[in-house]
Amino acid sequence: MERSPTPRSVRQGRTSEELRRHNLSAILGALHEGGSRSRSELTRNTGLNRSTIATLVADLSQRGMVVEGPPKERSGPGRPSPEVHLSDVGPVVLAIDIGVDSIGLAVVGLGGQMRRHERVDLAPSRRKPEQVVRVIAELGRSLLPAPPEQRLAGIGVAVVGVARRRDGLVHFAPNLGWRDEPLADRLRAALETDVSIQVGNDADLGAIAEHRHGAGVGFANLVFLHGEVGVGAGVILDGRPIRGADGYFGEVGHVTVNPEGRPCQCGSRGCLETEIGELALLRAAGVEPARVGREAIDEVLDRAAAGDEAALRALREVGRWLGIGLSSIVNIFNPDVIVLGGFLARIHPHVEGQIGSTVGKRALPASRAGVQIVPSRLGVDATLLGAAELALAPVLADPTSVPTAVEAA
Amino acid sequence: MERSPTPRSVRQGRTSEELRRHNLSAILGALHEGGSRSRSELTRNTGLNRSTIATLVADLSQRGMVVEGPPKERSGPGRPSPEVHLSDVGPVVLAIDIGVDSIGLAVVGLGGQMRRHERVDLAPSRRKPEQVVRVIAELGRSLLPAPPEQRLAGIGVAVVGVARRRDGLVHFAPNLGWRDEPLADRLRAALETDVSIQVGNDADLGAIAEHRHGAGVGFANLVFLHGEVGVGAGVILDGRPIRGADGYFGEVGHVTVNPEGRPCQCGSRGCLETEIGELALLRAAGVEPARVGREAIDEVLDRAAAGDEAALRALREVGRWLGIGLSSIVNIFNPDVIVLGGFLARIHPHVEGQIGSTVGKRALPASRAGVQIVPSRLGVDATLLGAAELALAPVLADPTSVPTAVEAA
């Protein structure tokens, strides 16, 4: 099916009411990403003048989103400036992470602070959508306090598959065995809520979390390469998450690296995923692929640490293909940093040298010169925190969209 | 050399003066990309109200950028609305395209209209920077009228290589044999001008031109795959050109597709460029690679048209690898449209079927479902028009930055 051209995009004009919302958003965003700071710092950060900042901070304070405290310390001339903090009783979101082996839930406030947090294992026989949703509903009820104690501004879900942002339909989650699942609708019914539920791909969301709170802080161009059984990537360019025409941007797991290689579950063959996913390592190490999971990987890494030749050879083989894949990623995206997530973060110490030498031989000198390749800093919580960012986005974009504590009561 | 994190980016506040410039820019951008329209249409396009539009159009008119004419036709109730056109005597830019075999120059006004245009062949022995700059200076002098007849707002240059946007240094243009050439400085001296000179990669700029005026109009996500001897890509995502950390985004010509394939000039081996560039076709067809150029390619295409088996086999071989490369491009970028430029546009009719079947087998169903793969519509002028867009960008972003005709006189 061919897609028709969308109407030509035209830049929109802007009103002064939009200007106020934009400026509230700028202040809240600075506190969310960079933490507490004084009013004078906010003046410098935003380029707005002192009295405008005072008015806007008062507005956010009235909305229960920030509180003002005493000046931190006197620096420079002039009166010391009050310190602005995110409020402990501001809006929260419920973050949900649906992986292949586990489900994570957290109540998260502005600033990406996890208030409560649970993660439970997911047995292979319990991966049906209705089963997963039931587990989430139980955990969710125990985590979420009754309103109006906390204002629930939204729910964000990270799922190991491709999801339609508009309505939370999961098109395809091969490792869960899901196809065209109306996940957001199921969750809305099970959680008995009418707040907005946003669903996104776990690698896309992990990229956002590592960029705002993890190994990618301060870098404008980031690739989060997330590998477990499947391999996907989330990409941030010029500070903005990229999604592509249908939300499938960055499926580098299905770049052909070995044209006559093994068949891939996607229908092609010799995809990067078939050479660097968990199954490739187990196969090369002589472990039964059906045993795939954290334990089997631990076994290979333990054997390698003990000097077992088959395990070391398997890591070298996966390291070589990972190096080839990373070289292409460097050339394609010219990123500042590549963050390895999931399984790839775990094998990183074993393959770091080999990655370096392969990228040194295969990537373009100009693009590889500045790039850093590092393991995830948020670990298993990267995708969960990314789900929280998805749900917090509307609050950050328009702080006036959240009912105040009084309105909510 | 590792790159340090840049300071955390913070959204800036905005003043009412910036608001006015933004709105002038919105109107001029609508006319530049979409052509003449009535004041009421501008009202609808921008979301601004009628009296604001009238004031802004009067401002642009005073700046000599637009003229108002009689209403085109009466449609709907109310008074007919004056038609707003781009002015014939508005600012112009000089566009320069430095290819391997030819140099193109054009004087281009708002709306991407070429006022004057020249293209000359470039013999292999005349590719030294000082020779190229001398040819450009001669052509430039004959094309550009003396001020203040026309207001030269800037100069844009497309070059077959990687260039630093900040100062117009060409880092590396292997097919010209250039390395670290201060191209903008050389041109500034030779053209005896103090207007801004912007230099960009030809594939990046071709993508912008196809997006605004060619085969990519109306598509938000576009990949322009430009192939001659070398292969590069320009990428537009969500309507915005993407450049990467250092300006090298989209070097898909150096994605590894054949790990044990031929050595590539980049230092790696089995890059896409080694399998689908002009040299790959000539080699496969048994033509001496040293003869590379338009004539040698014509010969292979003529032989294929006459049923010559070696030529047909060579096209099949290149078509197969092009299909594999396009499958990866579909999976990586999830674009709405892929535009094939240069040599790849010329072979497109011969390899179209094979591309279709390979992409059908190798690309992810969800991503390939909506994508169109089409030849360039602007042909050899795509990169030249892209150079004009580069030079016009500051005018479009801030129409108040250009001196009025009176100030310039």
The model's pLDDT over A163-212, given as tens digits with 9 standing for 90+, comes to 888 899 998 887 788 999 999 999 999 999 889 999 999 999 999 999 99
Q: Edge-to-edge, what's the strand order for the sheet holding B240-241?
A: B240-241, B231-237, B222-227, B337-342, B372-375
Paired with B37 in beta bridges are B84
- Is A1 in Cβ contact with B369 (below 8 Å)? yes
Residues found in chain B: 409
Instruction: Please give the residue that has the higher pLDDT: either B308 or B6.
Output: B308
A21–chain B nearest CA distance, Å: 10
Task: Inform me whether the C-beta atom of residue B329 falls under 8 Å from chain A C-beta atoms.
Answer: no
Residue B406 pLDDT more than 60? Answer: no
- Is A1 in Cβ contact with B371 (below 8 Å)? no
In sequence order, what are the residues at sequence separation of 6 or more whose Cβ sits closer than 8 angstroms to the Cβ of residue B202? B97, B98, B99, B158, B159, B160, B226, B232, B383, B386
Q: Please tell me the predicted confidence (pLDDT) of residue A150.
A: 65
Residue B204, phi then psi, degrees to nearest 5: -60, -45
Cβ-Cβ contacts under 8 Å, B19 against chain A: 14, 16, 19
Q: Please tell me the predicted confidence (pLDDT) of residue B10.
A: 42
pLDDT cut 90: percent of chain A above it: 67
Burial A145-167 (b: 16+ CB within 10 A, else e): eeeeebbbbbbbbbbbbbbbbee
Instruction: Please give the residue that has the higher pLDDT: either B175 or B271.
Output: B271
List, by residue range, all CATH 1.10.10.10 domains of chain B: 16-86
Q: Please tell me the predicted confidence (pLDDT) of residue A242.
A: 92
Q: What is the CATH number of domain A215-377?
A: 3.30.420.40
- Nearest Cα to Cα of residue B235 among B330, B164, B327, B157: B330
Q: Please tell me the predicted confidence (pLDDT) of residue B405.
A: 56
Closest Cα in chain B to A53? B13
- Is A218 in Cβ contact with B8 (below 8 Å)? yes
- Is B324 in Cβ contact with A259 (below 8 Å)? yes
Strands annotated E in B70-201: 83-86, 92-98, 102-109, 113-121, 152-159, 162-164, 169-173, 178-182, 197-201
Q: Please tell me the predicted confidence (pLDDT) of residue A351.
A: 95
Closest Cα in chain A to B363? A268
Closest Cα in chain B to A321? B259
In sequence order, what are the residues at sequence separation of 6 or more whose Cβ sits closer than 8 angstroms to the Cβ of residue B323? B351, B354, B355, B357, B358, B359, B362
- Is B366 in Cβ contact with A172 (below 8 Å)? yes
Q: Which fold has domain B217-377?
A: Nucleotidyltransferase; domain 5 (3.30.420)
Instruction: Provide the CB-side half-sphere exposure for A82 (13 A, CA).
Output: 12
d(CA B147, CA B161): 32
Positive or negative CA dihedral for B235, B239, B243, B249?
negative
d(CA B290, CA B310): 18
Cβ-Cβ contacts under 8 Å, A217 against chain B: 5, 8
State in words which class domain A92-205+383-408 has: alpha beta
A233–chain B nearest CA distance, Å: 9
Residue B146 pLDDT more than 80? Answer: no
Q: Which fold has domain A16-73+81-86?
A: Arc Repressor Mutant, subunit A (1.10.10)
pLDDT cut 90: percent of chain B above it: 66
Residue A10 pLDDT more than 50? Answer: no
Torsion on CA atoms B244, B248, B253, B255, rounded to nearest 10: -60
Residues B323-370 have pLDDT tens digits of 999 999 999 999 999 999 989 999 999 999 999 999 999 999 888 998
Residue B144 pLDDT more than 90? Answer: no
pLDDT grade for A75, boundaries at 50, 70 and 90: low
Task: Inform me whether the C-beta atom of residue B309 falls under 8 Å from chain A C-beta atoms.
Answer: no
pLDDT grade for B5, boundaries at 50, 70 and 90: very low
d(CA A217, CA A364): 25
Residue B206 pLDDT more than 60? Answer: yes
d(CA B36, CA B72): 10
Q: What is the DSSP letter of B224?
A: E
Cβ-Cβ contacts under 8 Å, A259 against chain B: 257-258, 324
Q: Please tell me the predicted confidence (pLDDT) of residue B74.
A: 61
List, as ranges, residues 34-63 from B with C-beta within 8 Å of A.
Answer: 34, 45-48, 52
In CATH terms, B16-86 corresponds, of 3.40.50.620, 1.10.10.10, 1.10.1740.10, 1.10.1670.10, to: 1.10.10.10
Q: Please tell me the predicted confidence (pLDDT) of residue B1.
A: 36
Q: Please tell me the predicted confidence (pLDDT) of residue A12.
A: 54
A327–chain B nearest CA distance, Å: 8
List, as ranges, residues 126-145 from B with C-beta within 8 Å of A.
Answer: none
- Is A30 in Cβ contact with B245 (below 8 Å)? no
Strands annotated E in B192-247: 197-201, 222-227, 231-237, 240-241
Residue A307, phi then psi, degrees to nearest 5: 90, 10
Q: Please tell me the predicted confidence (pLDDT) of residue B176.
A: 87
Q: Please tell me the predicted confidence (pLDDT) of residue A77.
A: 63
In sequence order, what are the residues at sequence separation of 6 or more whose Cβ sits closer than 8 angstroms to the Cβ of residue B352? none
- Mean per-residue pLDDT over chain A, rounded: 89
- Is B367 in Cβ contact with A251 (below 8 Å)? yes
Task: Inform me whether the C-beta atom of residue A123 falls under 8 Å from chain B C-beta atoms.
Answer: no
List, by residue range, all CATH 1.10.10.10 domains of chain A: 16-73+81-86
- Structure token pair of residue B149: 């007849």
Residue A14 pLDDT more than 70? Answer: no
Flag whether the pTM goes above 0.90.
Answer: no
pLDDT grade for A144, boundaries at 50, 70 and 90: confident
Q: Work out the average pLDDT over A57-61.
A: 95
Residue A2 pLDDT more than 50? Answer: no
List, by residue range, all CATH 3.30.420.40 domains of chain A: 92-205+383-408, 215-377
Q: Name the least confident of A117-131, B40-54, B68-82, B265-279.
A: B68-82
**ipTM exceeds 0.95, yes or no:** no
Q: Please tell me the predicted confidence (pLDDT) of residue A124.
A: 79
List, as ranges, residues 258-297 from A with C-beta within 8 Å of B.
Answer: 258-259, 266-268
Q: Work out the average pLDDT over B292-318.
A: 92
Residue B7 pLDDT more than 70? Answer: no
List, by residue range, all CATH 3.30.420.40 domains of chain B: 92-205+383-408, 217-377
Residues A276-314 have pLDDT tens digits of 999 999 999 999 887 777 788 999 999 999 999 999 999
List, as ranges, residues 71-90 from A with C-beta within 8 Å of B.
Answer: none
